[in-house]
A and B are shown apart, each in its own frame.
Chain A
Amino acid sequence: MRNILKSTVALLSVLVAFTSCDTASKSNSGALSSSAAEKVYVAPGEHDEFYAFISGGFSGQLSVYGLPSGRLFKVIPVFSLDAEKAYGYNEETKPMLNTSHGFVPWDDSHHPDISQTNGEIDGRWVFINGNNTPRIAKIDLSTFETTEIIEVPNSAGNHSSSFVTENSEYVVAGTRFSIPIPQKDMPIKDYKSNFKGALSFISIDPKHGHMDIKFQLIMPGFDYDLSHPGRGKSHGWFFFTTYNTEEASTLLEVNASQNDKDFIAAVNWKKIEDYVNNGGGTMMPANYAHNVYDEATHSATSTMKKEVRVVNPLDVPGAVYFLPTPKSPHGCDVDPSGEYIVGNGKLSANLTVHSFTKMLAAIENNKVAGDAYGIPILNFEDVLAGVVEQPGLGPLHTEFDGKGNAYTTFFISSEVVKWKLGTWEVVDRQPCFYSVGHLMIPGGNSQKPFGKYVLAMNKITKDRYLPTGPEVTQSAQLYDISGEKMELLLDFPTVGEPHYAAGCPADLIKPRSKKLFKLEDNKHPYATLNEADTKVVRDGKTVHIYMTTIRSHFAPDNIEGVKVGDKVYFHITNLEQDYDVPHGVSIIGANTSELLIMPGQTETFLWEPKQIGVWPFYCTDFCSALHQEMQGYVRVSPANSNTPLKWSLGEDIE
């Protein structure tokens, strides 16, 4: 018996030994060799080579990562409330989330794109679209803060957005869902030929980046899925993929997948711009919010705009053409030279590439195959540059490395495929874990991509990380594309569901990143620029507290004379002028978030005390060695009391 036991144990140990041997050899071979670790290792204190701005998807925000390390630096609040930064909670940023539907505290952020000069990314601003309540936001890359949001009227499902032309003339926003324009109460079944799709060209002020809707092109009622600008030779054109050219309004998964070919809409925006500059188009009543954050006042204002210029494409002959493209194309990507327009037909077995030169020739020779609602349709064969045969299943998006290669994601076969422009041959393929959506090469939407890495953003994560219950993180994967074969380097988790991302060399942004706000430039109407000017002012049932912070105290820190039912505004100016010394603040029972105030900045939160007592407030950001001492009290008296208004610092209130 003992022998049997012994031999069983021996056998087991041998088995265990074999198994562990097996795992050991596995981890030593394969793609994840030690060199992959070296390639993504950024030593402590060192900086990454690239910034990656990754959309937050249903979080509504924009996250900032370093590449190749995959380290998260910041989540920039854009379309959603952020209690950490008081975005949408403090009085200064509440107007940023104003829309024609009132205060909308959330959106679905999709496609970030960096501003460009002469076809190259310039690192000044990132634009990103809110998909649900159509909006375009501008993020200033000197502060990494959202400084402008414009609502897009006549639009719904703002998805073929927010792509920037090569001199940042326009950021373009196309509607995914067609709707009645103007909106009206009508039966849904009457969709066909009654619903319309608006493609909005939003001009960008070259100096400040301020956005203004120059015109909206009112197109047939298809779904406009994605878009990209022409560049180089095709600068002046914009390309939009469409699906649901069937114009179905129900069970689209079937009904919008019937046509053998949908379209890429080619829009000559230069032509329409000329038309508009000469008084073309009509002003249509509208109602949309334009929200601008001013760095000097540290405050946003929201203005409702009441009209928008619309253009009927039939009024500008030669401005819009349809290029037939197989099977509900999703991504619409233009190569760095501007010659090739890739239609990623997501239900097609092949990848269709159109030629800009051939398109111009077809237009020149008037080779029109027909029309859709009066818009000419060119012959598929006349505009086709080539087809990548059977590269994978479910192509979604394509990026370019600037060396003649294209990289396409395949959702269904879960891979990135590298292929050659011009010869259309497949060079390499690498699996994604799992079901990749967008991909990004820094500088991808420009004439000059930085073809060192490609970042794949996956839709499904499953078992890639330690499990965290039914909801797991989203996942991105970094591949080295400097060689002939792609090499998987790194998995890293992302915020929300990343759709597109935009990347650029750190050197473009790093030197311009602000360290603090100068106190002398602070033009906030409630700013207090030194402790001597701190005060508490009552105006009826409203109390304004002009407060300052500096290591390690609030001034004032004892306040009396506040009453139940008052509206108390804490206007707090951070007097610090040192890099990375913010102060935070909140008070017990405040129905809002904390403030996190950067050096030189003023922010305001509203407190409506409901109970009498003496209530403490404190600094919420560990600011200094005496952070724990950074606190104060507000005495709240009954509504009908006569407690006089008093405030002090460093002495007892008399």
Chain B
Amino acid sequence: MLIAVLLPLGLFFFPLWKITLEAPQYPTPLGMYIHINDFSDVHPHDIKNINLMNHYVGMKYIPEAIPEFKIFPIGIIITSFIGLIIAFKGNYKWFLFWFILMIVLSSAGLYDFYLWEHDYGHDLDPKAIMKFTNPDGSVMGFQPPLFGSKDILNFKAHSYPRLGALFLGLGIAASFIAYLTGKKNKQKNSS
């Protein structure tokens, strides 16, 4: 269980997610890492250059900071703290509680990320230099995919989890394993 608790702390060292934009003019693709508390360039100045590209279609600049960058790290620290107490004091049933807690919080985080992406891709400046419409006449959005790859005009956007997310996932999985082993041991002991 201790491993399960410690693994998500990897989020403070490794990026959670990565969005990559490929286009003919960018033989070296533009890319952005999303950390638990920051956005960062894959290559120097990538975010600045993504902003420059996106302003043509009226997308907002990627902000320096979003409220989530404050909330998420606190969330991780609190859940880790709870996890630590459980690891030392609690029994395996509490492991399951922590597992469910983490699943719920992570899902909420992902949903929040989706909402931000949706807003980023759809809340366009009405004075946008170029306006595109879908075949059905609605205003074209430029939301990057949550997970996977997608063609957006001349760009091909890729969005995939990175090492930080892997650590989080492994931590959550480890807590479930801890629960199962705990349960097995309990059954063994009682039988």
Contact = CB atoms under 8 A, between A and B. Distances in A.
B52 A550 contact: yes
Nearest to B129: A626
Interface string B32-60: 00000000000011001100100010000
B129 A578 contact: no
B52 A551 contact: yes
B49 A578 contact: yes
A531 to B, nearest CB: 13
A625 B48 CA distance: 17
B56 A625 contact: yes
A578 B56 contact: no
Contacts of A579: 28
A64 to B, nearest CB: 21
A592 interface: no
A577 interface: yes
B44 A577 contact: yes
Given A625-B56, A626-B56, A577 B129 contact: no
Contacts of A576: 52
B54 to A, nearest CB: 11
Q: Is the interface of A mostly helix, strand, loop or mixed?
A: loop
Contacts of B56: 625-626
Contacts of A578: 45, 48-49, 52
A578 B49 CA distance: 7
A138 to B, nearest CB: 28
Interface in B90-136: 129-130
Interface string A548-580: 001100000000000000000000000011110
Interface string B53-77: 0001000000000000000000000
Contacts of A550: 52
B152 to A, nearest CB: 16
A622 to B, nearest CB: 13
Contacts of B129: 626
B2 to A, nearest CB: 43
A551 B129 CA distance: 12
Contact of B49 (A577, A625, A626): A577
Interface string A606-638: 000000000000000000011000000000000
B58 to A, nearest CB: 13
A634 to B, nearest CB: 24
Contacts of B45: 577-578
B126 to A, nearest CB: 15
Contacts of A551: 52
A98 B17 CA distance: 55
Contacts of A626: 56, 129
A162 B49 CA distance: 42
A521 to B, nearest CB: 12
A579 B27 CA distance: 11
Nearest to A576: B52
A388 B51 CA distance: 67
A257 B21 CA distance: 69
Contacts of B48: 577-578
Residue from A576, A578, A579, A625 having most chain B Cβ neighbours under 10 A = A578
A94 B187 CA distance: 87
A551 B50 CA distance: 12
A644 B49 CA distance: 37
A550 B48 CA distance: 11
Nearest to B56: A625
A626 B56 CA distance: 9
Nearest to A600: B45
A607 B170 CA distance: 65
A120 B130 CA distance: 54
A626 B129 CA distance: 9
A551 B48 CA distance: 12
B137 to A, nearest CB: 24
A551 B130 CA distance: 14
Nearest to A550: B52
Nearest to B52: A551
Contacts of B49: 577-578
A550 B61 CA distance: 15
Contacts of A577: 44-45, 48-49
A70 B61 CA distance: 44
B99 to A, nearest CB: 44
A283 B65 CA distance: 63
Residue from A550, A577, A625 having most chain B Cβ neighbours under 10 A = A577
Contacts of A625: 56, 130
A183 to B, nearest CB: 52
A625 B153 CA distance: 14
Interface string B157-179: 00000000000000000000000
Nearest to A575: B48
A625 B55 CA distance: 12
A577 B48 CA distance: 8
B180 to A, nearest CB: 51
A626 B128 CA distance: 12
A578 B56 CA distance: 16
A416 to B, nearest CB: 39
A577 B28 CA distance: 14
Nearest to B30: A578
Nearest to B45: A577
B70 to A, nearest CB: 26
A552 to B, nearest CB: 8
A29 B129 CA distance: 59
A548 to B, nearest CB: 13
Residue from B28, B44, B49, B52 having most chain A Cβ neighbours under 10 A = B52
A143 to B, nearest CB: 17
A504 to B, nearest CB: 24
Contacts of B52: 550-551, 576, 578
A551 B56 CA distance: 9
A625 B44 CA distance: 23
A625 B49 CA distance: 14
A550 B129 CA distance: 15
Residue from B44, B45, B49, B129 having most chain A Cβ neighbours under 10 A = B45
A578 B51 CA distance: 12
Nearest to B48: A577
12 contacts: A550-B52, A576-B52, A577-B44, A577-B45, A577-B48, A577-B49, A578-B45, A578-B48, A578-B52, A579-B28, A625-B130, A626-B56
For the complex of A and B, the 3 pairs showing the least CB-CB separation, nearest first, are: A577-B45, A578-B49, A551-B52
Given A550-B52, A577-B48, 13 more contacts: A551-B52, A576-B52, A577-B44, A577-B45, A577-B49, A578-B45, A578-B48, A578-B49, A578-B52, A579-B28, A625-B130, A626-B56, A626-B129
